[in-house]
Every structure is written in C-alpha cells, then in structure tokens.
Amino acid sequence: MVLGRDELLQMWSEPEEEREHLTTEFELGEVDPLPDGRYFSTTREINRWRESGEIAATTERAAIWRLREEKIDEISVFPTVEVGKAAVLQS
C-alpha cells in the first residue's frame, strides 16, 4: 500500500483536539541512494503523552524519493519499512 497525496494530507492534518495531549518527534533513519538515482529513507514518528512524557505510539515509515534541482521532485511514502523495501525490490 502506497500512501497517496490525499492519504498523506489526511494523516498529517488530523484535528488538533485529537493530538492536544500528544507531542510528536521525528527521527530520521537510513537514507540510501538507489541505482536509478532515487533515494530510500526511513523515519520513526514517536508520539508521547504530553502530561507524562511516556511513549503513546511509535510508527516507522519509509519513502522513495527523487531530488531535482535540490528539491524533492517525486515521493512515494509507505506505511511500513517492510512495504517500502518490497517496493524497492519491485522497481
């Protein structure tokens, strides 16, 4: 499953009241160049309860992207690292 533009917008624009008790941190994982000039990268999103600092959820995602003129020109975001790695093998 690849997250398209609409799915990404929905995921990243949840109503504020649903996240008011959480803080979010992002950790960049690996960034590997692919033979065709694209890149494969992973990120970890860590949600913590604002009140206690305890971890509420951790989500790892992957992306395949291409740079053009120092800007991301194309990106495919995957819901898990495993799905992203499978997409690399298929391309």
Strand boundaries in the chain, DSSP class E:
22-33, 39-49, 55-68, 71-78
Q: Which domain holds residue 21?
A: 5-90
Confidence of residue 13 (pLDDT cuts 50, 70, 90): low
Q: Is the Cβ–Cβ distance between 60 and 77 less than 8 Å?
A: no
Q: What is the pLDDT of residue 65?
A: 94
Q: What percent of the chain has pLDDT over 70?
A: 81
Structural domain total, the chain: 1
pLDDT in tens, 51-68: 999 999 999 999 999 999
* Phi, psi (degrees; rounded to nearest 5) at 20: -65, -25
What pTM was estimated for this model as a whole?
0.72
CATH code: domain of residue 42: 3.10.450.230
Q: Is the Cβ–Cβ distance between 65 and 72 less than 8 Å?
A: yes
